[in-house]
Amino acid sequence: MVKNKNNKAIWGTRIKKDTSSIFKKVGSSIDVDKRLFREDIEGSIVHVEMLFKQKIISFKIKNKIVWGLNKIRNEILKKKFIFNSNLEDIHMNIENRLFEIIGEEAGYVHTGRSRNDQVVTDFKIWLRNSTTEIIKQLNDLIKIIIKDAEKNVETIMPGFTHLKNAQPISYAHYLLAYVEMFKRDKKRFANNLESLSENPLGVAALAGTSFNIDRNYTSKKLKFKNPTNNSIDTVSDRDFVLDFLYSVSVCSVHISRLAEEFIIWNSDAFRLIKLNDKIVTGSSIMPQKKNPDPLEYLRGKTGKSFGNLFSMLTILKGLPLSYFKDLQDDKELVFNSFDQIKNSILIIIEILKNYSANKKRMNELANIGYTTSTDLADHIVKYYNLPFRKSYQITSKIVNYAESKKLKLEDLSLKELKKIEPKLNEDILKVFDLKNSIKSKKSYGGTSFENIKKMIKKYKKESK
């Protein structure tokens, strides 16, 4: 039960019995929402400054409250503050301590405000800061990938479709695909800042307040663009929570896809990359093993991100307006998703710094599976004046023949090729070269070395 300095429950005059201990225990959120202490104190200070400016409280009381709140912040920072689960949440813990420090006048702090607008205000400020932190981290990640791409412009590997060798590509081009994905993540998080820019403070429980408050003033002081427009929506709205959880989920998907590819490529069957000892773990029984545990961690954690998003969607589905206790779980979900994505980005950065591409093996693999067949088909269209479907057929026959002889395309003689299609000439032989194949993919966004170099320049400028 929440008690003030006189040791009387805040709602004790109305509610005669102490809350059941089981509900007190499970209904308390202090272990989770104490992370909001900075934002809660900041919000309260701005609130009382506004109350003073509007002549709702005196200068003396405002100063006393601000002094008390600053003292509480210091106590928490110095770990001298005792969080009490009987006091339910961070708001009540701070208010109660304010009573202990400055006495009865602490009671003015909650004038024209409710915990319902208080908690959303704290939460939005927290999310704004945390979102900015993730955006910065994503930028660091992008820079690391660009650096890796720069070293691998001419590293040739097979591009896969259906995990079957498809066409030769530059490894840098593959890496830059992830730059695009993380750039979209950055943008998604940045867009969320827009919905976090409306100030909930001052809508009170759900109806607004009869006090002559100035919500534009608190908006400015708390770095919001403007006050929210509808008091009922304000205390009910958790769309900004969904936006965040969704953005984390999508970013987790990207990290997980990269993790999965690296797991496959690091396997003994593929050997396209090698993880150094910093990012593998051993086996308790098989002495030879070096397992890609950190990558598996990243892939696995995606499940938790989705779970958090779906929990929040489910909490909101069918919830009438306005505030209900159901909403209290929003913070646990967001804090968990935040911690997870922050760690995941740090881990993927660490992995990218501690692995190497097996260029020899990449090249070897690009030579298997007739990866230049499409180049051959294109060449026949361009230089033999045939429709693509016809050249596709001729090329298929050539591939079938090579496969039956266990030969690569470049091992076929002109004589053998002519047997299949008499029109073919010597010029056909140069299309089987992997480098030529890559160089020829000059269409915008394609894998040609030239394109990649231009893209790297562009990305570098953007991520400065």
Which range of residues in 112-120, 148-156, 236-244, 347-355 is near ligand ARG by CB under 6 A? Answer: 112-120
Report the nearest approach of ligand ARG to the CB of residue 223 (Å): 22
Each as own residue / partner, the long-range contacts of residues 236-241 (CB below 8 Å, 24 or more positions apart, any chain) are: 236/206, 236/319, 236/321, 236/322, 236/323, 237/120, 238/312, 238/315, 238/316, 238/327, 238/330, 239/195, 240/124, 240/127, 240/192, 240/195, 240/196, 241/123, 241/127, 241/312, 241/330, 241/333, 241/334
Residues 6+ apart with CB under 8 A from 383: 427
Tell which one of 98, 327, 334, 345 touches ligand ARG (CB under 6 A): 327
Phi then psi for 379, rounded to 5 degrees?
-60, -45
- Within residues 397-416, the interface with ligand ARG by CB under 6 A covers none
Radius of gyration of the chain from its Cα atoms, rounded to whole angstroms: 31
Nearest CB to ligand ARG, comparing residues 64 and 128: 128
3-state SS, residue 266: helix
Which range of residues in 137-145, 173-181, 297-305, 321-329 is near ligand ARG by CB under 6 A? Answer: 321-329
Report the nearest approach of ligand ARG to the CB of residue 263 (Å): 39
DSSP 71-132: HHHHHHHTT-----GGG-SHHHHHHHHHHHHHGGGGGGTTTT--HHHHHHHHHHHHHHHHHH
User: What gap in Å lies between CA 176 and CA 370, rounded to an integer?
Assistant: 25
Total chain residues near ligand ARG (CB under 6 A) = 9
Does residue 341 touch ligand ARG according to CB under 6 A? no
Does residue 441 touch ligand ARG according to CB under 6 A? no
Does residue 371 touch ligand ARG according to CB under 6 A? no
3-state SS, residue 169: strand
Structure tokens given for 41: 């104190």
Which range of residues in 113-121, 304-312, 332-340, 391-399 is near ligand ARG by CB under 6 A? Answer: 113-121
Does residue 110 touch ligand ARG according to CB under 6 A? no
Report the nearest approach of ligand ARG to the CB of residue 241 (Å): 11
- Within residues 20-39, the interface with ligand ARG by CB under 6 A covers 29, 33
Q: Which of 11, 25, 371 is nearest to 167 (CA)?
A: 371
Tell which one of 119, 156, 204, 351 touches ligand ARG (CB under 6 A): 119
Nearest CB to ligand ARG, comparing residues 69 and 90: 90
The residues that are catalytic are 162, 283
Does residue 323 touch ligand ARG according to CB under 6 A? yes
Tell which one of 42, 89, 148, 185 touches ligand ARG (CB under 6 A): 89
Nearest CB to ligand ARG, comparing residues 200 and 294: 200
CA distances from 404 to 49, 398, 399, 408, 431 (A): 85, 10, 9, 10, 21
User: What gap in Å lies between CA 200 and CA 365, rounded to an integer?
Assistant: 58
Does residue 340 touch ligand ARG according to CB under 6 A? no
Nearest CB to ligand ARG, comparing residues 118 and 367: 118
Query: Helix-strand-coil percent breakdown of the chain, rounded to 5?
Result: 65, 5, 30
Nearest CB to ligand ARG, comparing residues 18 and 140: 18
**Lookup result for tokens 């992370």:** 35
Nearest CB to ligand ARG, comparing residues 10 and 309: 10
Nearest CB to ligand ARG, comparing residues 318 and 445: 318
User: What gap in Å lies between CA 348 and CA 251, rounded to an integer?
Assistant: 12
Does residue 116 touch ligand ARG according to CB under 6 A? yes
Nearest CB to ligand ARG, comparing residues 33 and 243: 33
Report the nearest approach of ligand ARG to the CB of residue 119 (Å): 4
User: What gap in Å lies between CA 179 and CA 139, rounded to an integer?
Assistant: 10
Tell which one of 328, 337, 358, 395 touches ligand ARG (CB under 6 A): 328
User: What gap in Å lies between CA 227 and CA 246, rounded to an integer?
Assistant: 25
Q: By the criterion CB under 6 A, which residues form the site for ligand ARG? A: 29, 33, 89, 115-116, 119, 323, 327-328
